[in-house]
């Protein structure tokens, strides 16, 4: 049913019946998007995502059980770009997929722009044409969603960016009080960025509002 719905929305599909098959295909072929169900035979969705993230940053949406917040958080911590809890309206999945497609389209469009769009603030540099963010001279290994979030924060360095703005500008959807995607993506980014010389994280929490990037 879901395959038929996505096909009717002009998505070209390649369906794997288990996690092992899905991981093998994901690592041997080129895909624009991957939708992973947590509950799969052979390899579950988490194991499959770990294998994919070992060598690929292709956008991934996880499908989790209704009300299972742990599954949602684990999926995001492992590098999923987004998630949906079952059961869900197929139109919502399409909306999430389209939002990721728009972010990727913006990334690809930036590749044709000049290097004047490169942003350098303190020890961080953003290269939109390559979709690369360097921190202390080294390229960060980050997902599509992590890149989008960090870019918004860096381009607003020193200013507080609300969660609502991060949802809309980076993830392409409205804020939901029960959606912890931004918080988990920021937690992942903090682990990858480490700390500044003064012991602080370069991404500061502004309680009740959002986050602020400190150039250092």
Instruction: Read off the pTM.
Output: 0.70
Report the 3 state secondary structure along 122-181: CCEEEECCCCEEEECCEECCCCHHHHHHHHHHHHCCCCEEEHHHHHHHHHCCCCCCCCCH
**Ranges 92-96, 175-179, 199-203: which has the least confidence:** 175-179
- Greater confidence (119 vs 142) lies with 142
Q: Which of 189, 215, 198, 203 is nearest to 136 (CA)?
A: 215
The tens digit of pLDDT for each residue in 121-166 reads: 889 999 887 788 999 999 999 998 999 999 999 999 999 999 999 9
Number of domains into which the chain is organized: 2
Check residue 39 and report its DSSP letter. S
pLDDT at 130: 79
Supply the range of the domain harboring residue 5.
1-110
Beta strand pairing call for 82-85 and 60-64: parallel
Taking residue 56's Cβ as centre, other Cβ atoms within 10 Å add up to 16
Which residue, 53, 86, 110, sits at the end of a domain? Answer: 110
205 shares a domain with 100: no
Query: Where residue 113 falls among pLDDT bands split at 50, 70, 90?
Result: low
Residues 195 and 153 occupy one common structural domain: yes
**What is the 8-class DSSP label of residue 57?**
-
- 79: CB partners within 8 A, 6+ apart: 49, 53, 57, 60, 143, 188
Asked which of 110, 144, 162 is the last residue of a domain, the reply is 110
Helix residue spans in the chain (DSSP H): 2-8, 19-28, 45-53, 69-77, 90-110, 144-155, 163-166, 181-193
Q: Which of 110, 142, 158 is the last residue of a domain?
A: 110
Q: What is the pLDDT of residues 38-76, one digit of tens each?
A: 999 989 999 999 999 988 889 999 998 866 788 888 899
- Both 83 and 152 in one domain: the answer is no
Whether 37 and 124 share a structural domain: no
Which of 63, 64, 128, 69 has the alpha carbon at shortest distance from 97? 63
CATH number of 48's domain: 3.40.50.2300
Dihedral of alpha carbons 86, 89, 95, 98, sign: positive
């Amino acid at each position: 049913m879901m395959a038929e719905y996505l096909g009717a929305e002009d998505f070209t599909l390649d369906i794997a019946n288990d996690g092992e098959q899905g991981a093998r295909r994901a690592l041997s072929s080129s895909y624009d998007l991957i939708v992973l169900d947590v509950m799969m035979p052979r390899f579950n969705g988490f194991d499959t995502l770990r294998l994919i993230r070992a060598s690929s940053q292709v956008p991934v949406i996880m499908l989790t059980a209704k009300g299972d917040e742990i599954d949602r958080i684990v999926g995001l911590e492992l590098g999923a770009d987004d998630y949906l809890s079952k059961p869900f309206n197929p139109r919502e999945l399409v909306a999430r997929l389209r939002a990721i497609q728009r972010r990727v389209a913006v990334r690809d469009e930036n590749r044709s722009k000049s290097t004047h769009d490169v942003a350098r603030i303190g020890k961080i540099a953003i290269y939109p044409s390559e979709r690369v963010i360097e921190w202390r001279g080294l390229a960060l290994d980050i997902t599509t969603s992590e890149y989008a979030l960090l870019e918004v924060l860096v381009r607003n360095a020193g200013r507080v960016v609300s969660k609502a703005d991060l949802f809309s500008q980076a993830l392409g959807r409205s804020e939901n009080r029960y959606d912890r995607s931004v918080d988990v993506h920021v937690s992942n980014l903090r682990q990858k960025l480490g700390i500044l010389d003064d012991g602080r994280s370069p991404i500061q929490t502004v309680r009740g509002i959002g986050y602020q990037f400190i150039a250092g």
